Amino acid sequence: MPEQKKKKAVCLLSGGLDSSTCLAYARREGYECYALSFDYGQRHRIELEAAARVAADLGAVQHLVAPAPLRLFGGSALTAEIEVPKGRSGEAMAAGIPVTYVPARNTIFLAFALAWAEVLGAEDIFIGVNAVDYSGYPDCRPEYIEAFERMANLATRAGVEGRMRLRIHAPLLRLTKADIVRLGRELGVNFALTHSCYDPGPGGKPCGACDSCVLRRKGFQEAGLEDPLDTA
Amino acid sequence: MPEQKKKKAVCLLSGGLDSSTCLAYARREGYECYALSFDYGQRHRIELEAAARVAADLGAVQHLVAPAPLRLFGGSALTAEIEVPKGRSGEAMAAGIPVTYVPARNTIFLAFALAWAEVLGAEDIFIGVNAVDYSGYPDCRPEYIEAFERMANLATRAGVEGRMRLRIHAPLLRLTKADIVRLGRELGVNFALTHSCYDPGPGGKPCGACDSCVLRRKGFQEAGLEDPLDTA
């Protein structure tokens, strides 16, 4: 009996906890995964090495790193010379959109994913955004993801010709960080390969104090698991 | 009396007839224009020189050329090694989406425009798409533009915080090519500075036979005007 052909999916992969878990989720759902990362002039460019490790470890068919010139526009602590805030409480994070927000980042990333999906003939795009324990970014909310999906289905040749119906999957959208850690573990994500810190020290060592480090620590603590990066 | 501060607009500019007319339109509407072009590995990269000339001629405050790695994904005659079709009739063009369609191109371009608009504090983005005398691209239709605008207002910090309401202006959407030629002339566009051909010869000479050349010629003929590029 011939093997059934797997469906292809484009999976956005930063190399962090969330996107790695999202990639593992897509794989478990039976997709052949095409991982897509971006070199956008981020301070924490070292996350691209984590993305490559994770893509290989989770059996992605292909891993592309697309250069995306977000630095050209400035406006974020993640790309420009603005200081990354440290030691913020959950309340402080919940109070507003932080300076680490990169204007239109997920829109740009999803737009590239859409281009690749159309070329591959993939109907599914996975993105590890999360609207619970997150940094307050507007482009991580369910209404944003739905609006993007709607637009995407009007944007492409395949959508217009009725040959495919694109779906943006955000399986982590309503999970807490602890839920994500538990799910990642269940799906076999090797957390030691990931990278989350916005402002890493030499050798990629997490600063432990930026929003991303704080959220990650909270997630592992609440899940009752040890983060391998803490003991590395 | 102090001069009233002009509103800023990001204007997508390829250097062709339509986007040049669109930029001139935004200027006449009183906007301070920030022109944005893309180097996406297009065969007709020479259009970027036209874009720079047009941006300067029409008084854009700034002109940025963003590298956008669309070639990475392939899938189009404009970026990959697929032949650009020549000598097609209007009926042939109307029959379907041609191989010169670049997957998700306008979505990617508008996503970058959105990033720049947010950084500039601009509420207005101009794009010269046209749904009448066009090549049948899905991302040139009014329903697509509306869906993008809706998504964009959910994507940005400024939108979420209620500080601004983004508008995607597509003033050429319902014009014929002849209307666009007439409008461009009225607005003072110097057509000799523009470039439309998808497959130019040495020195940027238009091939005269690709869809873009055919549509341009038809536009000038119907408007009863001479195209300065024909006699150059």
Summarised one tens digit per residue, pLDDT across range B69-110 is 887 887 677 776 667 777 777 777 666 666 777 788 899 999
CA gap A12, A21 in Å, rounded: 11
Q: What is the ipTM of this complex?
A: 0.89
Q: B206 and B197 in contact (C-beta within 8 Å)?
A: yes
Q: How confident is the model at residue A232 (pLDDT cuts 50, 70, 90)?
A: low
Residue A192 touches partner B, C-beta closer than 8 Å:
no
Q: Give me the residues of chain B with pLDDT under 50, please.
A: none
The pair of structure tokens assigned to A102 is: 């990169």
Contact B138/A159, CB-based, under 8 Å?
A: yes
Classify B8-227 by CATH class.
alpha beta
Interface A-B, measured as beta-carbon pairs within 8 A, has a size of 143
Least confident of A36-45, A85-94, B139-148, B199-208: A85-94
Task: Please tell me the distance from the alpha carbon of residue B197 to that of residue B54, in angstroms, as a whole number.
Answer: 16
CA distance A59 to chain B (A): 20
Split at pLDDT 50, 70, 90, the class of A134 is low
Average pLDDT over residues A58-87: 82
Closest Cβ opposite residue B108 in set A72, A115, A159: A115
Rounded Cα distance, A187 and A179, in Å: 12
B165 touches chain A (CB under 8 A): no
Q: With an 8 Å Cβ cutoff, are A66 and B66 in contact?
A: no
pTM across the whole model: 0.91
CATH class, range A8-226:
alpha beta
Label the pairing between strands B8-12 and B32-39.
Answer: parallel
Compute the nearest-CA separation of B4 from chain A (Å). 25
SS (H, E, C) chain A: CCCCCCCEEEEECCCCHHHHHHHHHHHHCCCEEEEEEEECCCCCCCHHHHHHHHHHHCCCCEEEEEECCHHHCCCCCCCCCCCCCECCCHHHHHCCCCCCCCCCHHHHHHHHHHHHHHHHCCCEEECCCCCCCCCCCHHHCHHHHHHHHHHHHHHCHHHHCCCCCCEEECCCCCCCHHHHHHHHHHCCCCHHHCCCCCCCCHHHCCCCCEHHHHHHHHHHHHHCCCCHHHCC
Q: Write down the pLDDT at residue A70.
A: 81
pLDDT value at A2 more than 80? no
Mean pLDDT of chain A: 88
Neighbour-count burial for A63-79, b at 16+ CB within 10 Å, e otherwise: bbbbebbbebbbbbbbb
| Top-confidence range, A50-54, A208-212, B163-167 | A50-54
